[in-house]
Amino acid sequence: MKRAGVTLDDVARAAGVSRGTASNVFNRPHIVRAQVRERVLATAASLGYGGPDPRGRMLSAGRANAVGVATAEPMSIFFDDPFARMVMSELARASDTRGAGLSLISTVDDRALSWNIQTALVDGFVLYCVQGGTPLIEAARRRKLPFVAFEYGLDEPDVPVIGVDNVAGGELAARHLLELGHRRIAILSLPFGDDTGTGPASARDVAAAGYSTTRDRILGYWRAAEAAGLSRASIPLEQTRNDKPSVCAAMERLFANEPPTALLAMSDQIALYALDWLRHRGMSVPREVSIIGFDGVHEAEQAGLTTVAQPTEQMARLAIETILDGVPMIREAVPATLRIGTTTGKPPLSQQA
């Protein structure tokens, strides 16, 4: 049990060695003779000294060799949400490659956010900002360490960002369905903001959206649709909370009257919930309804989902390099790719253009 007030100097005196030798026992043990090393460690144990404070070691070295990962969402998102889980996995791989650690930082409320960002023993921060995130960015700025916002959008020119080109990704998804011949297409969207509800949404709602990810993907869908001669108003738009209840409610509304032949799901998770809803009602995918997701998570690949895949490996590597190499400003919009699976095909013969 560590005793308060016991220092490295106390250990050195009690063991009959210099302070430098005692320091080497804890920091560079391979250069200390085994007999001396064992005596110093035994003395330290008897005095209740557990070793140098890592905070002091970090200050001496000038770096912590660790990257903080913080989010505006509850930290459980990195375990519960497929895309967040994939991002964390790629950040861990990129950190391993550099021999660095990751530190998850809780931001459960504003007071904890500020304190935890200010006291984290890290070299910088990756801020997971898929939804919201402005207070997180401001807290990171005050810390004056390198940081990068992951998936924040490119609206604010003074924020370092690594993300996917959501407009181009949305256009890629919609164009795929249109080229297959679909004209009755509906959108299942992510939330528009922190306090928005669920259900049918309008172009005005999109223009007022607080989340740039949601807005930009819809703009990409609309851009492809208009190029094919479809109006925005002809494409039903349902806002969900990226959860099963809101997706199922949206599906009930969309299929109550004239059902769509194709669905643009703004996340793979939404697409998988919709796929499950259709199959439980005996509807064939893609013979009766086609579905395309967005993200490229592992669960989507296992389900054969057609999706717009984000290059998370590349994005994570850029994020870790930005922090560990001290890059002052990065604004990288990486391209997504279309990954065709088994959930998209031509519309039913009666609906083909």
Strand ranges inside 86-228, DSSP E: 101-105, 125-128, 147-150, 161-164, 185-189, 199-200
Rounded distance between C-alpha atoms, residue 71 and residue 137, angstroms: 10
Q: Where are the domains of the chain?
A: 8-52, 64-164, 166-309+336-351
Q: What tens digit of pLDDT does each residue of 56-67 get?
A: 555 555 578 899
Q: What is the mean pLDDT of residues 93-109?
A: 88
List Cα–Cα distances, 229 to 201, 220, 346, in angstroms.
Answer: 21, 15, 18
Given the candidates 3.30.70.1890, 3.40.50.2300, 2.40.50.140, 3.90.1150.10, the CATH classification of the domain at 64-164 is 3.40.50.2300
Is the model's pLDDT at 111 over the cut of 90? Answer: no
Residue 2: the pLDDT is 47
The pLDDT of residue 352 is above 70: no
Q: Which pTM was predicted? A: 0.81
**Statement: residue 119 has pLDDT above 50:** yes
The pLDDT value recorded for residue 60 is 54
- Topology of domain 166-309+336-351, CATH: Rossmann fold (3.40.50)
Q: pLDDT tens for residues 33-54?
A: 999 999 999 998 898 887 776 5
pLDDT at 77 over 80: yes
Q: What is the DSSP letter of 60?
A: H
The pLDDT score that the predictor gives to residue 137 is 87
What pLDDT is recorded for position 211?
86
Q: What is the pLDDT of residues 169-228, one digit of tens each?
A: 999 999 999 999 999 999 999 999 877 789 999 999 999 998 889 999 999 999 999 999
Domains 64-164 and 166-309+336-351 share a fold: yes
Max avg pLDDT among 122-131, 150-159, 196-205: 196-205
pLDDT level of residue 1 (50, 70, 90 thresholds): very low
How large is the average pLDDT for residues 131-153? 81
Mean pLDDT check: name the lowest of 218-222, 248-252, 349-353: 349-353
Q: What is the pLDDT of residue 132?
A: 56
Res 234 pLDDT > 70: yes
pLDDT at res. 154: 66
Regarding the domain delimited by 8-52, which CATH topology (the fold level of the hierarchy) does it fall under?
A: 434 Repressor (Amino-terminal Domain) (1.10.260)
Would you tell me how many other CB atoms lie within 10 Å of the CB of residue 294? Answer: 30
Cα–Cα distance, 76 to 125 (Å, whole number):
18
Query: Could you tell me the pLDDT band of residue 159, with boundaries at 50, 70 and 90?
Result: confident
CA angle centred on 60, ends 57 and 62, rounded to 5°: 105
**Beta pairing partners, 162:** 150, 332
Summarize the confidence of residues 101-121 as an average pLDDT.
81
> Residue range 90-108: average pLDDT?
90
